[in-house]
């Protein structure tokens, strides 16, 4: 949304401009709240990455946490600049991240082990190449929603087969944060014209970022627990300093 002081990055060239006045707090940051609201996502991803490396989880999980971190950093760069070239640093990692979630969810039951990662890698590479040329608008959003919907059936299957109540709570928190975050995103998009006349902007898009940081951490924790059960690693949910939950495992000595 145009307004505010002079821009260090020049005119807005992105196809998306959220309902936050541009360059209000700094000439170097176009959308201040939409930028800093990605910081919790980076911190949660860093914590998850450290836990995955420390306990020697499978490579897919530390790559997943790293992907969450890259996505949040890309989102910060995009909202700070609102430049078309930086928009890809936000949208392309969103698609890559969902492809990684699909791999983690479906690969345990996939009989041809090399087929799925090869297909998903090629799909992600082709999308990145096409997206660098074509300016997707509503098409990108519909594509992203479709990828999310493809993950839901397997998440539900894991949920009904998981007996641990603490782990199931993370699955419910994942759904709740996704639902509330989506409402914040829609509210910000649909009622932007009315919001601009309010004394205080509720910053719906920034709330979406914040809730997606929690959402990713909940999803990752639940998936790490389920995969640990599949591998026979006796997982349990514990809390660091009585606050931050994470998955603790006990691998058999032969692993």
Report CA 45 to chain centroid distance, whole Å. 10
Which one, of 90, 94, 70, 83, lies nearest residue 28 by Cα? Answer: 83
Residues annotated within the binding site for Zn(2+) are 79, 205, 209
Q: Please count the residues of the chain.
A: 255
pTM of the model: 0.90
Contact 103, 116 (CB under 8 A): yes
What pLDDT is stored for residue 115 in this prediction? 86
Question: And the tokens for 166?
Answer: 């603490």
What pLDDT is stored for residue 88 in this prediction? 82
Map residue 1 onto helix, strand or coil.
Answer: coil
pLDDT tens per residue, the chain (255 residues)?
A: 555 556 788 888 887 888 888 898 888 999 999 999 999 999 999 999 999 999 999 999 999 999 999 999 999 999 999 988 888 888 899 999 999 999 999 988 776 678 888 999 999 999 999 988 887 778 888 999 999 999 989 999 999 999 999 999 999 999 999 999 999 999 999 999 898 888 899 999 999 999 999 999 999 999 999 999 999 999 999 998 778 899 999 987 766
Residues annotated within the binding site are 17, 20, 22, 31, 79, 205, 209
What pLDDT is stored for residue 15 in this prediction? 79
Contact 230, 108 (CB under 8 A): yes
Distance CA 20, CA 35 (A): 11
Distance CA 43, CA 94 (A): 18
What pLDDT is stored for residue 203 in this prediction? 94
CB count in 10 Å sphere of residue 132? 10
Which one, of 216, 141, 222, 215, lies nearest residue 179 by Cα? Answer: 215
Report CA 19 to chain centroid distance, whole Å. 21
Contact 240, 246 (CB under 8 A): yes
Contact 188, 195 (CB under 8 A): yes
What pLDDT is stored for residue 247 in this prediction? 95
Which one, of 26, 40, 91, 92, lies nearest residue 69 by Cα? Answer: 40
Contact 228, 255 (CB under 8 A): no
Residues annotated within the binding site for Ca(2+) are 17, 20, 22, 31
Burial 232-249 (b: 16+ CB within 10 A, else e): ebebebeeeeeeebbbbb
The conformation of residue 247, written as its DSSP 8-state character, comes to: E
């Amino acid at each position: 949304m145009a307004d505010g002081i002079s821009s260090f990055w020049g005119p807005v060239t992105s196809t998306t401009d959220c309902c936050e006045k541009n360059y209000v707090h700094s000439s170097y940051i176009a959308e201040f709240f939409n930028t800093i609201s990605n910081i919790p996502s980076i911190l949660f991803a860093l914590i998850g990455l450290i836990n995955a490396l420390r306990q020697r989880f499978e490579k897919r999980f530390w790559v997943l946490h790293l992907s969450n971190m890259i996505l949040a950093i890309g989102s910060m760069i995009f909202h700070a600049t609102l430049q078309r070239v930086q928009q890809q640093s936000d949208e392309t990692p969103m698609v890559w991240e969902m492809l990684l979630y699909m791999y983690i969810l479906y690969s345990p039951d996939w009989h041809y082990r090399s087929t799925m990662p090869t297909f998903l890698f090629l799909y992600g590479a082709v999308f990145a190449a096409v997206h660098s040329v074509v300016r997707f608008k509503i098409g990108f959003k519909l594509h992203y929603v479709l990828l999310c919907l493809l993950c839901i059936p397997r998440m539900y299957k894991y949920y009904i087969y998981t007996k641990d109540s603490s782990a199931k709570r993370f699955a419910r928190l994942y759904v709740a944060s996704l639902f509330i975050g989506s409402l914040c995103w829609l509210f910000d998009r649909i009622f932007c014209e009315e919001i601009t006349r309010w004394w205080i902007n509720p910053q719906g898009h920034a709330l979406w970022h914040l809730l997606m940081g929690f959402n990713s951490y909940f999803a990752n924790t639940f998936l790490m627990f389920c995969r640990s059960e599949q591998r026979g690693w006796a997982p349990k949910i514990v809390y660091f300093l009585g606050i931050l939950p994470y998955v603790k495992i006990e691998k058999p000595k032969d692993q």
